[in-house]
Structure 1
Amino acid sequence: MPNYAILANPGHNRIYLDAALPIAQQELQAMCAAVGSPILGFEPPLAGLPASLCFRTETPLSEPALAAMAAASIYYALFEVLDGGLLKPVVVPDIYTFPPGMSQILKYVGKTNEQFTRLMINLGLAACGTGSERIRLVDPMCGKGTTLYEGMVRGFDVEGIEINGKWVQEIQAYMVRYLKMGKYKHKVTKSRRNGPDGKKVADSFVLDTAANKADYAAGNTQSFKLYSGDTRQANLLLKRNSCDLLVSDLPYGVQHGNKNAKDSKLERSALGLLEQALPAWHHGLKPKGALVISFNEFTMKWQEVAPLLDQAGFEVGAEAPFTGYLHRVDQSINRNLIVATKR
């Protein structure tokens, strides 16, 4: 029975790392089960190793399972644990198209930890049942774009919606600058999106690019779409049944608030906004597509979010490994997430 040890990335935020190891166990179980290589259990960490998770499987990790290890939010290195505690390095596939640094360069107050964003994407992939060859990921409240960048480095097509025009401009400027500095071929198209009544719904920014020149010349490009608009109108921006994953970090009510349709004042809880937006989000997801949203339990509760998703046509993952992710970020944020699939 093979035993493995996965070392945690030393670049983790120290505060987040304390919570990352326990919740990474759930993440690894979800990812490996989804590719047919379930983890049988976790072992105590080996003496002398830095932060790590040790686990056992019934058979050696398959190629898809090794790719899952490489994508794991804590991944730094993988070893097979041999008799006597000896460690044998295990080579994992390169899962990235663009460098992972694309999502790590920008630093700003209120930014979601990149590793946690990666964890949400991994859970979405584990829950997703669309069977698409190319994943299309949407973040309908994309902020300054961390989820979109994480999707790009994984080879996905991505779409983002953000109501803050300043942030939208910052995302556009960053992507164009990044691609120019990296000498990546790309094409930018800007347009206006109108609703059925002819009124403007959003400004559209579309970027087609590829990580190498041969793919770009062959038309094998990745698409980066960004809309400066209201997430509650996502149904006017996203094609029906077009997205495989919806991953979003809802406003925590600390650095960022939100508005609902009835009141122009900022609110700490995003629950009202979520209720209004869910029908539009449901419109954009493919059947069996996965939704993963995170939120601050100090402003809204898992038990409040789950019924809203059920009423909107989603099947909530109410058992492990899609539960058990509640963790403290700081004194004002107790973060949790919820995973669901479109019926």
Structure 2
Amino acid sequence: MPEHLVLISPSANRVYAAATPSLITAETRALATGFGIPDIEVEPTVLGGVPYLAVRTPDHLAEDGVALLSNLSAVHALFRREGALLAPVELQRSERYPSDLVTIQKYQGKTNEQWTRLLLNVTAAATRHPRKLLDGTLQVFDPMCGRGTTLNLALSLGLDVTGVDLDRKDYEAYSAFIKTWLRQHRLKHTAEDKQLRTGGQTRGRRLDIEVAPTKEDFKAGAVQRASFLNTDTSDLDGLLRATSQDVIVTDTPYGVLHGSHGDRLARSPLDLLEVALSGWHRVLRSGGAIGLSFNRHVAPRSELSTLLQQHGFEPVTGEEDAFRHRVDASIDRDLLVAVKA
């Protein structure tokens, strides 16, 4: 069988790096299923002391397959195996902006950006139209976006994205970061920070970004749009159009205190989801998918699955612990994906 080898990117997080080979294996299988690539064999391997992911297919990898492997969460390089030699394969990356858009922010409690990319990939693969992930038309919604890792990732991939978070400090930190980053990289853009109002009532603030990788793209209207709504995710009425989003991806509260997040994260994630999921369901398109990253210590998988079903989502079946990994002593992290019929 023809074989390709994915050279796995290093991670600054030692614990996450140890889990990456098994995580990227499960991610590749999920993407292959979503993209309709049959009979694929995937397993971690080591060559010369360096970790790779071996991918075998019955026939030579088609363009879709190369694009899929090129956009894994932890891909550094791609090779085609020819006997004892490795032939480089040009990556077909979706990134449109410098990588520091996603990597430069450092703060306590930040989610590893490779995990955020994996969550987006796996969730998009479960939708009715997974190829939207690669053609730039996927509409992304993070209803608990914190300081904007998902927003920055989606922008970097050429996707439109909306985030919601109630924490004013997170909103201000993101606003300051993205405006500075756009200026420093001299990208043609607009950034409008204003009151969030509906029906004559002030409900917080909103930041709306439009940006393009070149001046020519911006002039032609080929822009990416990001909006950050500084408001309550459990009350989205009048803020987002019904059935306007393709995927919902978010970190649920892990039950761990991180500075200013204390009051919000002290709440049970299940209690928060109970009051928020109906609104999230309303904004998701039929055939769309929701992907939740969660801490098993405070949100048992079975209870989370039941809660999603009660709000009209159907959990995607798969290998039970394929994405489970330890972050630290207090966080046993996993993900759960469900679709809207």
Return the TM-score normalized by structure 2: 0.92
Equivalent position SS for 1:233: coil
Q: Which residue of structure 1 lines up, in the alignment, with residue 8 of structure 2?
A: 8
Give the aligned CA root-mean-square deviation in angstroms: 2.1
Q: Distance in 2 between matches of 1:281 and 1:179?
A: 30
Matches within 5 A, 1:1-343: 1-38=1-38, 40-43=40-43, 45-83=45-83, 85-130=84-129, 134-196=137-199, 198-256=200-258, 267=266, 269-320=268-319, 324-343=322-341
Deviation, 1:25, is 0.8
Q: CA deviation at 1:144?
A: 0.7
Preserved CA contact (<8 Å) 1:157 1:224: yes
- Of 113-122 and 97-106, deviating more is 97-106
Helix, strand or coil: the match of 2:17?
A: helix
The one-letter code sitting in structure 2 at the alignment partner of 1:239 is R
Deviations 1:189-219 (A, max 9, x none): 23333345x3222312111111111110001
Shift of 1:92: 1.7
Residue identity in the other structure for 1:172: S
**Structure 1: how far apart are the matches of 2:267 and 2:326?**
18
- Give the letter for the 2:181 counterpart: Y
Q: 1:31, 1:130 → 2: CA distance?
A: 12
What is the distance in 2 between the residues matched to 1:40 and 1:135?
25
Tell whether the 8 Å contact from 1:317 to 1:323 is kept in structure 2 after alignment: no
Distance 2:82 2:217 in 1: 41
Separation (CA, whole Å) in 2 of partners of 1:342 and 1:302: 19
Which is further off, 32-41 or 250-259? Answer: 250-259
- 2: CA distance, partners of 1:233 / 1:257: 25
Task: Give the share of equivalent positions with the same residue, in percent.
Answer: 35
8 Å contact from structure 1 (residues 296, 335) kept in 2: yes
Please, which moves more after superposition, 125-134 or 213-222?
A: 125-134
CA offset digits 1:257-309 (Å, max 9, x no partner): 999xxxx8863531100111001111111111111011111111110101111
Q: Counterpart of 2:40 in 1: which secondary structure?
A: strand
Residue type at the aligned position of 2:329? Q
- Paired with 1:341 and 1:234, the residues of 2 have a C-alpha distance of 20
Asked whether the equivalents of residues 25 and 43 of structure 2 are also in contact (C-alpha less than 8 Å), the reply is no
Instruction: After superposition, give the CA deviation of every residue in 1:38-64 in whole Å (9 maximum; x if it has no partner).
Output: 453235624414122112111222222
- Most deviating of 277-286 and 233-242: 233-242
Structure 2: 5+ residue runs without aligned partners? none
- Which TM-score applies when normalising by structure 1? 0.92
Relative to structure 1, is the Cα distance of residues 136 and 44 closer, same or farther in structure 2, using a 3 angstrom cutoff? closer
Between stretches 187-196 and 64-73, larger displacement belongs to 187-196
**Contact 2:28–2:42 under 8 Å retained in 1:** no
| Counterpart code for 1:175 | I
